[in-house]
Structure 1
Amino acid sequence: MEDITGILSYEASSRQAMIACLTDGNSETFWETGEEDKNRPRYVTIHCDIRSYKATLLTVYVDNIRDEGYRTCSVTVITAESDGRRRKIHSECLDHQFIGWIKCCILGLNSVQVIFRGNDPSLRIRQLRVFGTSTALDVLSTQCFTNRSFLKPSPSHQLLFNANQDDAFAVFQAIAAQAFSDEFSQEENGTLRQQVLDLLFSRIQLQPLQTFVCSHMISALEREVSSLREKAKRNYSYVCGLMEMLLKICGSRQGLEVVQCQVLETIECLSKLFTPSAVDCVNFTRNLLILITKVITLQIRDKMTRSLTSACLATHMTSVPTYWRIDRAVSTDIAYLAKQLLKNLSEGLLNEYWTIPVRTEIANEIMNLTSLNITHSYDGDNSGRIATDATDESASDEPNSSDFSEFINTSDSRSRMLKMENFGLP
């Protein structure tokens, strides 16, 4: 459908000169009823009898919060039959805090009248839009539309979009540029970026905007992955474009916690669809454990000086792998989400195929911890001992030291750990 608002004719019950403010595409302007409409219906008549287009959808935008004192209580759409009778097409009552679009199908109608009712002396309508389909598509334009809408299967590295995907991707890109960083911006989308910037007005509520952008991108990604798994579609371009943007967002330092939360939620959703054989379960589990490790603080006690010092992964680890991203901080909330994800996977709550592989890897990591020497002895030049006492405030259900000793001293320690319900993940 195309926007045909500008090529139709309109007739208002009052203040005909303000109709242009109703169809200019700007929600900051409005049509306001006049004094002469106090004791009679307030309406706008739309004449859709044009040859080149067929009107299909009518939309009306009302903002009762902004227009306090000019509120609209109901919107009714009627049309005139050939015998002169009036037929109601759509009627909707509006709340005093209603904000949004009222939509009505007007397919096959040459003229419709939108009647507005309210309890205030005057009322305001912010926007009116009409959409329709062309009745005079020539062979060339039809061929172009066909070529653009139906794409052949493409390699995943080629980003070839159809018409709808191209528009949606451009909007995602423009909003992401304002919410995260300018590295998403492109010159050809300059006009769209400016329109998005005008709509945002300010960046005061940036974190809710980042959450909104991420959640919609994740929803789009989940739908694409599901369609590809079910072989409902064969083109990978759109999902690869979304992943490329998500990677850029993850590389941005703005809204880091929002991104981390969305990534964990995505992993949780995707783990329901895929089995462990599709990923490297060792690195997968280890990366989630790294998130938890980043928020753990150890208390180091020097028995000679009887002093305590705090140590964490970022301050006392050297030569760590780059993918650990020690420079990226992790909040306790994110660590809790990672812990909860591991717990759900190990208990088979998301996908039963993950239970044994995840439990095995967690058991292996715990066994690696038990192989460390808790107390280190020094040579003659450095007489004395340093003992480390590590405690996690929330790990009340972790296996105690006697459990660890039992695991070490038995040959089937790993198999016994797999049968346990908890792996230090309360």
Structure 2
Amino acid sequence: MKIDHLILLVSSLSMLTQAADKLGFVFELVRHGARAPQKAQKDQFMVPEGMLTASGQRQRYLMGSLNKQRYIDIGLLDDTYNPAQIYIQSTNFFRTIQSSYAELIGIYPPSQKTKLNDGEKQSLKSGKGMPKLKIRNQGKTVDPGQDPMEGFQYIPVFNYQTPDESDDLMTGGCKLIDEADAYLFPRNDTYEPVADYIMPVLRKPIQVAYGLTDDQAWGLSYPQLYDYSDSQLAEDKEGIPRRYSYSAEEWFYMRNTQKWALSLTFPQEYKKIFATKIMRNPLMNMHNRMNEINDGDKTRDSLRYFIYSAHDLQIANILEWLHPVGHDFVDVTYGSSIFFELWYDTDCVNSLRDESCFKVKIIHNGMPLKLSTCLDANWYTRGSYDQICTYTDFRAHTTNFGYSGMPLHEKCAETFTPPSME
């Protein structure tokens, strides 16, 4: 995430703060920070393939620092970490887990208040303050003044280590979607709608950049092109000199290759299933929070910040599923995010206590998103040019575009049938 992107995010969020009364709940869907390539050439990286880099960790730390200003300073969250207020779930990858902790350090940075005093250190070093376990080299367990974790707030990041139907972030949580992705992603014909105009532009640059033979270049499949694109974008993020002097058009398609590799693997009905599954728990918790506020908001010990730390796959498909008006994306950069914010009018809540007092604002990488359902209802029902969704219209939009067949767990239990065999 470049600094100009951060400035845009800050300014956009600041304007949104001024435009509403009070913030009640936030759902954040965010991609991990910069990483080493997963395939192709990765010899210039200091970390193994697919692992978070130092710059990637800094990306999510800076995002956490921004969110601290945004959500703690505005009063949504307590100054001191309250475990009842935040839930963060990551996919089971080191890069997303590490990114999660980096962001949390930005939200709740190290504080002198949590440092051990000399007596506590001595108690641990002597063994009196340690659990009743046999410890090897006990005298070296605590070195006063050299504990690198002093001052850090310990916040849990949850994840599923094995595929489970309760895991809404990974395709493994839905057998049907997982099998469809495994079948469609590596197939060259999956990308026929875009390959005819992307491949001719990038074949020669990729050949020169990666030293391919003529046969290798002409035999290049779209999934292979995606691997090279992923490698080039990872190198570019680390400031490594480009392997080729790409034109503006070539670099556009280099980035755009990623978008289609992520989204074309999910036919429309499957995209609905995947997106509905990702959104179901955040939407349920948003609704619960709305009810709490209407009931008088009697406690600070309630969930109000829900974070999914995931990948470009989830971001791309949620964006396409939402169908935002007048908003397109070229690719899903490292650290990309979508924020869903629940705002409410306090005077309205005090008098009416219903969902008409609430609105939902959606922000993708600092840019507000507009939804057709909300725009139409605002104009045709209310005669308003307002571009923000009422809570009711937002839920109508997600329902209209969401999966509405049999229960999700039953649909996900089905076996995927390849298109040619249907």
Q: Fold match, TM over 0.5?
A: no
Q: TM-score, normalised by structure 2?
A: 0.21
Higher helix share: 2
Greater share of residues in strand: 1
Flag the structure with more relative contact order, 1 or 2, with Cα contacts below 8 A and sequence separation at least 6. 2
